[in-house]
Amino acid sequence: MLLQGFSSVVSFIFLGLLLLSLYALVHAALQREDAFRAVDKQTKPFWLLILGITVVVQLLIPWLLLVLAGTIATIVYLVDVRPAVRSVSGGGRGGGGWSSSDGPYGPYNGNR
């Protein structure tokens, strides 16, 4: 009985890692290719290949060592590449260096 409970927990963890890898793959696919070059990261096809292989391995060959290697690649993309690409692409908070007080000709300083 304990082994069945452990098996279901591991299955949920693998499912969560698969969803995380799918999110990273979709995010990489939706980004512009020149954004990857602008932030001096690997190319977009490189990340699509790595993340695609990660998703396929997690779906077809869910061996722990391969899943861990793919998870590391996914985490590197999400923690390092994604914020850099988003800052160049202008997506999300603070994208492109604009703040909420910026006007059409630069920052608004209240005539100071």
Tokens for 34? Answer: 């020149």
Q: What is the pLDDT along the chain (112 residues), one digit of tens a residue?
A: 566 767 888 889 999 999 999 999 999 999 999 999 999 989 999 999 999 999 999 999 988 899 999 999 999 999 999 999 998 887 655 444 545 555 566 566 665 5
Tokens for 105? Answer: 């000709």
Strands (E), the chain: 102-103, 106-107
Instruction: State the Rg of the chain over Cα.
Output: 19
Burial of 25 (0-12, 13-18, 19+ CB in 10 A): buried
Tokens for 93? Answer: 């908070």
pTM, full prediction: 0.75
